[in-house]
Each structure stands twice: as C-alpha cells, then as structure tokens.
Chains A and B, each alone.
Chain A
Amino acid sequence: AQSVTQLGSHVSVSEGALVLLRCNYSSSVPPYLFWYVQYPNQGLQLLLKYTSAATLVKGINGFEAEFKKSETSFHLTKPSAHMSDAAEYFCAVSGRNTGGFKTIFGAGTRLFVKA
C-alpha cells in the first residue's frame, strides 16, 4: 500500500524567501515520487520526479527535491520565492510492481507569496 502526507495545507512566504514544502511517503515497494504544481483554473503539471537515478532532483522553475529514504521524505524547496510561484503543490507516489499504474496524490499545499 502507498500513501503520501503533505505537512501543511497552506504555506506563506515572502518574495525572495526560501520555499519549503514537506512531503512524507509510505510505500511497500521502492517508490517513484513526484511533485506537481496546479495554477488556478488549470490542470496539474509536473515539476520534478524521483526515479532512483539521483537523490537530489532538480525540476523546472528553480525547484528541487531530495529523496531521503531514512526519513521517508521528499521535500520540495526553492531558494528564493517569486510571486509567480503562488499555486497549489501536490506530492505523489507510485510504485514499481504495484500491479498497476495508480499514482497516489497528497492533499496538496497551497503556497502564498507575499510581496
């Protein structure tokens, strides 16, 4: 069984400040992990994904995430927030040999960026 927990339904940062969005996962098989972003009135789009090639994954728009197996975490960071980063962010997990293609999404974290 797989699950994802995103800590904090809302996060507020000032423009230029560090962005940290937390995600912990549970998986009975080696996981694939994703971060998707959803802008208002749009569908989700992929920011980055972990597929075991490297534990530090770089994505679009300056975001990156680090896979930490010992902590079962996959937190998303960006050194300096921009107003355009305001959106909802979803962490997701899927697995190898899970017998299907189900990707389990977290509840989402809405990021607010203050000027």
Chain B
Amino acid sequence: DAGVIQSPRHEVTEMGQEVTLRCKPISGHDYLFWYRQTMMRGLELLIYFNNNVPIDDSGMPEDRFSAKMPNASFSTLKIQPSEPRDSAVYFCASSFGQASYNEQFFGPGTRLTVL
C-alpha cells in the first residue's frame, strides 16, 4: 500500500484566499483524522471521521475551517478565508478498527504558509 497520501505537500497563499488540503487514507481504514502541527501548540486534533461520518469536530478552531469525507478514499480540509495564523503543517492520518489503541498511520503532511 502507498500509505496515506496528502496533497499538496506545500501551499503558499495570501491572506483571505481559500485553501483546500486533500487526503487519501489507506485502503480499508475506517477512521480518518486531521491534525495541525505548530511550534507553539504542538500537534492538535482538528476532526476525525468514522466510516465517512464526522464524529468529533471540537478541535476545529473556528467556522473558517471545514472538513468533508465524501467517500472512504478521500477527504478535504478547507480554510476560507485563510489567515496568517493558520500557517502550520497539516497532517492526515488513518486507522482501522474500533479500538482506541489502534495505530494511526500519518501522511507526510501539507506545509501551509499564509502570507
């Protein structure tokens, strides 16, 4: 398997623009997670899905952030409008099974810079 795939790997945009980050989880995995990593706040869980349904979005910072999972093989994280404080590395991860001890497999991340 190719692992979790994220695109783009790097994104530079200007404040106010819409940004869409994409993720393809590992085939067969039924959980998908979006994380944000910054120096100041470390690794934060933004939202996670089970079988394409959002389960917990309490980590989404504000209404400018939205996430969708239209099918088992694709998810998007959208920021509209983007702000400089959104600059971070965004990771997508996936896992299989009902147990909270199951390993999460991380993608390589998308480094977002908002000017």
Interface residues of A (CB under 8 A from B): 32, 34, 41-46, 49, 51, 90, 94-96, 98, 100-103, 105-108
Taking a contact as CB atoms under 8 Å apart, the answer to whether B42 and A101 are in contact is no
The number of residues on chain B lying at the interface, defined by a beta carbon within 8 Å of a beta carbon of chain A, is: 21
Would you call B31 an interface residue if the criterion is a C-beta within 8 Å of the partner chain's C-beta atoms?
yes
A-B contact pairs, 24 of them (CB 8 A): A41-B109, A42-B108, A43-B4, A43-B91, A43-B93, A43-B109, A44-B43, A44-B91, A44-B104, A45-B105, A46-B104, A49-B101, A51-B101, A90-B43, A95-B100, A100-B55, A100-B100, A101-B33, A101-B100, A102-B56, A103-B104, A105-B42, A106-B42, A108-B43
Taking a contact as CB atoms under 8 Å apart, the answer to whether A101 and B48 are in contact is yes
Q: Which of B4, B33, B55, B104 has the most CB of A within 10 A?
A: B104
Would you call B103 an interface residue if the criterion is a C-beta within 8 Å of the partner chain's C-beta atoms?
yes
Q: Which of A45, A102, A108 has the most CB of B within 10 A?
A: A102
Task: Tell me which residues across on chain B come within 8 A of A49, comparing CB atoms.
Answer: 101, 103
Would you call B34 an interface residue if the criterion is a C-beta within 8 Å of the partner chain's C-beta atoms?
no
Would you call B88 an interface residue if the criterion is a C-beta within 8 Å of the partner chain's C-beta atoms?
no
Taking a contact as CB atoms under 8 Å apart, the answer to whether B45 and A43 are in contact is no
A34–B99 Cα gap in the complex (Å)?
A: 14
A100–B45 Cα gap in the complex (Å)?
A: 12
Looking at the complex, which one of B31, B100, B105 makes contact with A98 (CB distance below 8 Å)? B100
Please give the distance in Å from B51's CB to the nearest CB on chain A.
Answer: 12
Task: Tell me which residues across on chain B come within 8 A of A98, comparing CB atoms.
Answer: 100
A51–B31 Cα gap in the complex (Å)?
A: 19
Please give the distance in Å from B10's CB to the nearest CB on chain A.
Answer: 10
Please give the distance in Å from A66's CB to the nearest CB on chain B.
Answer: 17
Q: Which of A44, A49, A101 has the most CB of B within 10 A?
A: A101
